[in-house]
Amino acid sequence: MTLLIGSLTIALILSLLAFGILISFRVVAFEDLTVDGSMTLGGAMAAAMIVRGTHPVVATMCGSLSAAVAGAVTATLHTKFGINRLLSGILVMTGLYSVNLRVMGKSNLPLLSQRTVMDYADALSKNVFHGQSIVHLAGWEASARDLSSLLLMLCVTTTIGGLLFVFFRTNLGLAVQAIGDNSRMIRSLGVNVELMTTLALFVGNGVIGLSGALLAQYQGFADVQMGIGMMVWGIASVILGETLVGTKKIGFLISGAVMGSILFRLLVAIALRWGLNPNDLKLITSAFVFGALVVPRFISRGSRLVRRKQNA
């Protein structure tokens, strides 16, 4: 039970990452490789500020903001200096590795006795569960602290998801959506595509940084390696979510990203339970994304072949 709750909580934190990936890779169709760096930057910045005594909420927001700026830098390298998108992301991601070390001062920064946003989960627990430390949930026993962490993350994810949904229903948000769909058309309708792409990467990486900041506080440390492989993880969640909802409507895609993130996390948890070596996890994730990208193509080609045979 504890394992399940822990998995769900992390899945919710990582669904913020999936939101960010959704915005850059899908909505504005920008293959943004900043992700691994900006996720770490979010965590590193928040942890470093918390250690220095900053209020955890302020620290979390600064973590998010710094990651957002990193995203805007990537976009600017592409739009203003004409550097290829992938290379722009790689340059920023690589540079961020040093920045993150500078921010933290060392490669791993523990948050032991500091006040973090997880303390709000404890406060929540006092209100919801009236100070009980064990909660009975449909016949299962669960720690109130774990449950309230889950509840807190559920609130955060729902709020951010809701805000993004509202944003994409505004005139500005609609214009941002059109960039990935038909940039030529939206340019001819008077939208500064370069500026809007920068805005999208700013927002996307901001959400990713928020994910990093929350993850660091949940697991109790920030690590310079914590972002590695996160981009592929996010892509896997987004693809899984798309398959689950089966439409391209933005509201569905946003909720799909949450579902995809949860499902993927659970799949991984089960695989680990069955004895999968954690070291193999990233290879499996990559293979999964490869499969998810290729299999649909095979299916449609297969059905075309079948149809052709029937016609012949």
Partner 1 sequence: MLEIQDIRKTFFEGTPNEVQALRGVSLSIQRGSFVCVIGTNGSGKSTLLNAVAGAFIVDSGQIELDGTDITHFPEHRRAKLIGRVFQDPFSGTAPSMTIAENLALASRRGQSRGLTWALTPSRRENLRDRVAAMGLNLEDRLNNPIGTLSGGQRQSLTLLMAALVKPSLLLLDEHTAALDPKSADQVIRLTQDIVSRDQLTTLMVTHSMHQAAHLGDRVVMMDKGRVACDISGQEKKRLRPDDLLSRFEDLRRANQLDESAAEMLRSQYV
Nearest distance from C-beta of residue 86 to partner 1, angstroms: 24
Of 68 and 268, CB closest to partner 1 = 68
Using CB under 8 A, list all residues that contact partner 1: 167, 169-175, 177-178, 181-182, 184-193, 248
Query: CA 175, CA 63: separation in Å to the nearest integer?
Result: 27
Q: Of 110 and 251, which has the nearer Cβ to partner 1? A: 251
Q: How far is CA 82 from CA 75, 85, 88, in A?
A: 10, 9, 9
Based on CB atoms, which residue is closest to partner 1, 167 or 221? Answer: 167
Rounded CA-CA distance 212/21 in Å is: 13
- Of the pair 175, 276, the CB lying nearest partner 1 is at 175
What is the C-alpha separation between 8 and 265, in angstroms, rounded?
Answer: 7
What is the smallest separation between the CB atom of 257 and partner 1, expressed in angstroms? Answer: 16
Give the H/E segment covering residue 159.
helix 144-168
CA distance 90 to 33: 6
Which CB sits closer to partner 1, 193 or 272? Answer: 193
Coil, helix or strand at residue 229: coil
Closest distance to partner 1 from the beta carbon of 226 (Å): 33
CA distances to 18, 51, 86, 159, 185 from 154, in Å? 15, 26, 33, 8, 38
Name the residue nearer to partner 1 (CB basis): 153 or 239: 239
Query: Hey, what amino acid is at 49?
Result: M
Which DSSP category does 114 fall into?
A: S
Nearer to partner 1, 125 or 177 (CB): 177
Minimum CB separation of residue 32 from partner 1 in Å reads 20
In angstroms, give the least distance from the CB of 181 to partner 1: 4
Q: Give burial (CB, 10 Å; 0-12/13-18/19+) of 292.
A: middle
β-bridge mates for residue 136, sequence order? 141
Tell me which residue of 230, 218, 203 sits closest to 285, measured CA to CA.
Answer: 230
